[in-house]
Amino acid sequence: MALEQIGKYQIIELIDEGGMASVYKAIDNESKEIVAIKTLKENINTHHETFIRFKKEAEILSGLNHPHILKFIDFIEQEQRVFIVTEFIQGKTLKQIIREGALDLEEMTAVIIQIAETLDYVHSQDIIHRDIKPSNIMITGNLDVRILDFGVANLMNFQKLFSNKSDVAGSFAYMSPEQSGILRRDIDNRSDLYSLGILFYELVTRQLPYQAEEVGELLHQHIAKIPIEPISIQEALSPIINKIILKLMRKDPDDRYQTAFGLSEDLKIFLGLSVQQKKTFYLELGKKDRLKNLNYRTGLIGRKRELGHLLDHLNETVLEKGFVSAIIGKSGCGKSRLISELQKYTAAKNAFFISAVSNEGGQNHPYHPFISAAKKLLNTMQKLPEKKREDMFVRLKAKLGVEGVILSKVIPELSFLVGEYEEGTKFSRKESDVFFEKLKEFFLEMATTAHPLVFSFDDAHYWDQGSIQFFQYLLAGIGSRSIYLVLSFREELLGRVKELHDFIVAKAQQGEIGIVNLTNINGEDVE
């Protein structure tokens, strides 16, 4: 149904339409002011969660006051729909400008400075934009920037977008490794800076650094592929800008600019250089980052030996030498931080990192950590390129056979592959034996040299008896597969799983499991 009147605003025309929202040009019948009105599309508007989050975006906009952010005017609820009214800006999106190739390097740099300064303000309000891309940047005729779409990125249904090829050139092309969910790092302000780096790269080269038809392949490139340097595409590009872009695009957030302020300061220095200096001047990047109070976690301190143990076995895993490491330490000694550090290295091995956390009630839910891991692994497989994914599922279906249907009893997401489990189904052996065998086959078949599997089982001291027994059963099969299990235990709670601890100690003596005991860091451990 066409919109004609929203509150006191008369609709003039539809000016933009995306997958989730529509934007209209309208006039205030009282003040005669021209405004822009954004609303969720009707098929999206019916979802309660997105409805609430759209209202949250209005709250965010109403609390922001910056010259490069659209001025919030009104929020309207009408006929079970919601509308955000903002100032109307006449201009082009940066996406259109990139297509036209109309800007020189100084103009491009001036645009990026405005975006960086705006992000610095936004981040100071404890807000992460999460969807920095050319179509969300509006440029007026005098190169005045407006950043659009605060909060809409949070509405995206990640699973649905994976099946939509038209979205590959959208948000996913600019998404940071940590935002994709594959790299297990907290999402913070530096995620926006990565996206800005991709945007800057595209602005100066007129092409994206990572391109693929499948979302899974595109996300893999963000994590593992080294981009062609922009100066290799545009040979006249200043080496300084080349370095700045590459720093923004670093895979590890710790290696990027830490603040938008640091970025804007470096770009201002660049603009102040002479033509010759822009080619030859050495600029130490990120010096002004130190002027901001940073609260990101520092790099791993004093755990080189322990991390080395984990990395050695990660390298062996790629060579089909599966292994188990058990990390034991008191609460707060750094077990999770050590595992997080290991996870950063898995992307370079094309490995999939799957985390399954147990809790105190876990002993009331048989096999929960492994069922959770299986579901997460299935979800991760959906991110593979379509051909690889189909080949994997064909092999898996053949391996599991007709009795694989037992897995759908606890993992209904597998029913598309093995069929739906029905009570009374007859098996060749005891049902629990079939379940163990098929779950083991599931994990081992999914582990390949092309994509090794690394499983992190946090708080394994909460495992139920069934999980302990399955772990013992699984261990016998991983020695020649590309699979690495990392278990963490709180030392003070090992008594809850004495049988498992005794088993691990015995297997460690046989060289099948490695034990990493974390103690307090002493002065000799810190360089």
CB 349 within 8 A of CB 318: yes
Joined together, the tokens standing for residue 250 give 């670093």
Q: How far apart are CA 205 and CA 217, in angstroms?
A: 22
Q: How far apart are CA 169 and CA 63, in angstroms?
A: 31
CB 457 within 8 A of CB 464: no
**CB under 8 Å, gap of 24 or more: what pairs does 70-77 form?**
70/36, 70/146, 70/147, 70/148, 73/35, 74/7, 76/6, 76/7
Sequence-distant (≥ 6) Cβ neighbours of residue 435 within 8 angstroms: 406, 407, 409
> How far separated are the first and last CA of the chain, in Å rounded?
67
Place of tokens 């695009």: 249
Three-state SS at 461? helix
The phi and psi torsions of 135 (rounded to 5 degrees) equal: -70, -10
Three-state SS at 38? strand
Q: Quick one: which of 172, 64, 198, 55 has its CA closest to 123?
A: 64
Residue 79 burial (CB count, 10 A): 7
Joined together, the tokens standing for residue 7 give 């509150």
Of 120, 131, 149, 458, which one is the catalytic site residue? 131
Element (H, E) at 442: helix 431-446
Active site residue 131: yes
Three-state SS at 197? helix
Q: Which residues are catalytic?
A: 131
